[in-house]
Amino acid sequence: MITTRRLLKYIHLKKLCSRGAFHPRPIMTPLGLIKVVGAVLPSIYLGSFISRSGAEFLEENDIFVPEDD
């Protein structure tokens, strides 16, 4: 049983199925990098906006005021 699993793993790495045929090509997502950038940049912007608003709120209410040394 263990050797069968190792063999199947080896066959999968060789891109062959159990009948000896090649696996189909993986599906490529068109414009994948643009989609990632389109999801990451707004998230970074939203996070910076929330943190800036929180810092302004803390300074307005004298909860945390940075001092000049």
Q: Count the domains in the chain.
A: 1
How far separated are the first and last CA of the chain, in Å rounded? Answer: 70
Tell me the pLDDT tens digit for each residue of 5-50: 555 555 445 666 677 788 788 888 889 999 999 999 999 999 999 9
Domain of 69? 44-69
Q: Is residue 68 part of a domain?
A: yes
Return the pLDDT at 52: 97
Answer yes or no: is pLDDT of 68 > 70.
no
Is 2 inside a domain boundary?
A: no
Q: What is the pLDDT of residue 5?
A: 57
Compute the distance between CA of residue 54 and CA of residue 56 in angstroms, rounded to an integer: 5
Sorting pLDDT into bands at 50, 70 and 90, what band is 60? very high
Task: Give the pLDDT of residue 64.
Answer: 82
Show the tokens assigned to 17.
């199925």
